[in-house]
Structure 1
Amino acid sequence: MKTIAVIGAGTMGNGIAHTFAQFGFKVNLIDISKENLQKGIDTITKNLDRMLAKEKISEKDKQQTLDNISSFIDIPSGVKGVDLVIEAATENEDLKLKIFSQLNDICGEKVILASNTSSISITRIASVVKNQERVIGMHFMNPVPIMKLVEIIRGYNTSDKVTETIMKLSEKLNKVPVEVNDYPGFVANRILMPMINEAIETLYNGVAGVYEIDTVMKLGMAHPMGPLQLADFIGLDVCLSILEVMYNGFKNPKYAPCPLLVNMVQAGKIGVKSGEGFYDYSENKKAEKVSEAF
């Protein structure tokens, strides 16, 4: 594989594009918004500058990485001539089905189609594609350039050959691919999201405050960050979406989102990207605990 298309220039999309470009692949970064594309490129540039400041890369490495990335505002132009398409759009099933249906019409039969979905069924996504054996999940972790894990999700019809190809490709990115089967939440979020949801329930029930809950998990369980801070980092809207997928998929009340999480998302307080979640990320109160309003 030489040329990769990444659909979506948000947090995950620009991270995936950055990683592939840094390892010498030509990357077509696609987003329908010129503004989002520019934000994505700006983020990649800032992250490369951080790596440069830490002497992890050279100025030449930085420039080569940026030179490897081309921007497109429409999918047909962006996927022309590529070997692999990775969809990294919003965690919304209808949107993903629409994108894969479009890819089915415009991509050659040998092009591998991957989704970075964190919870939605790969089998369901593949159902709108004629050659379903080429559809697979590549669930990268955030921040993509740093985190080693890639969950490789086999849909019901994903072929052994495609799975092996994507496993080997992930290793070329200096990642550790782990093959999992296609069930709601896969492995990472099936375990992580109930823990985050329980932490929110603990706050909701008044057992302890934000700082106290996170401190217990960091110091008592050796977690690098507490579950509420991690939820802010992931995005509370994403957490809610994943929990809803698992709740609908398993019909099990243990996956039902906490009412506090639902209310916060409806109020637009979704974490780092909105400036406030369980913590306040505004310039004057960055990373401080939100007032005891819960």
Structure 2
Amino acid sequence: VAGAIPVIRTIRHSFASDRIVLVQGIVNGTGNYILSRMTDEGKPFDDILKDAQALGYAEADPALDVGGGDSAHKIAILASLAFRTPVDFKDVYTEGITAITPEDIIMAGEFGYRVKLLALARRNQNSIDVRVHPAMVPKNHMIANVNGALNAVEIIGDYAGPNTLQGPGAGAGPTASAVVADIVDIGGKIVYGGAGKVSPIGIPLSSRKKIPVAPVAQVSSEYYLRFTVPDRPGVLAEISGALGRNKISISSMIQRGRKENEPVSVVLMTHTALESDLNKALDEIARTDVCQADTMRVRIVKDA
């Protein structure tokens, strides 16, 4: 998990006496490499992916990396350790970066954010929130400034507060280092008779408590929305009307790129809203003739 970063040992040992409330960060070097270069160079996803494959940062079949699946497996492990409850990979909401465009990257920058493939596990009152998706992170946050194939994980405890680990997350060297470290750890337990005495999640399996994973529909967030619409009167009224009817409040809007007889992009930033309410609004908009392409949605994570 997270290449050469000792995040599992940190959670299991350094936070053994604390109550972890949040684990989040960048745990896939391939995705971060692609988004970083899209940000720096303004090139589309497909072009950067080809370069990543040529340099060995992406597999010949990159679906697990760019689709978010690799990050989802890793955050399921970290959430299980942090919250001492088994988290099934199938319960992790997962969304990849293949739909992110240079336009989205540019708009994020204008609003003061950078786009990152974020893995997040948060402790709620009666559930946990575990998900992977592109997120707009404030430029002044550490995670927003982790670039290239680097990984970074932030762990927040009730008493220890925030702790951040950063290091290489992709490539032969970091991967080999992490694998060999695990082999040495396992070998030491076998040699000294410690194997099997402690469960993988740090407490006896018989005493573990299953904490439910909250559906993503119950998540509240601010949102970036990009609509591709015809340049005609009344379009904005239809969009804002559907959002308003579903309790979605608009905080700001940008419309650019007017060309005769061609669709234009309308970018909206919302105030905090419930995901299920936004889903209803977007479904309502999709049933009209307003949008000429799928609406782009990116969650804004200000406490990243």
Which TM-score band applies after superposition, normalised by the shorter structure? under 0.3
Larger Rg: 2
TM-score (norm 2): 0.27
* Bigger strand fraction: 2
* Bigger helix fraction: 1
More RCO (CA 8 Å, sep 6+): 2
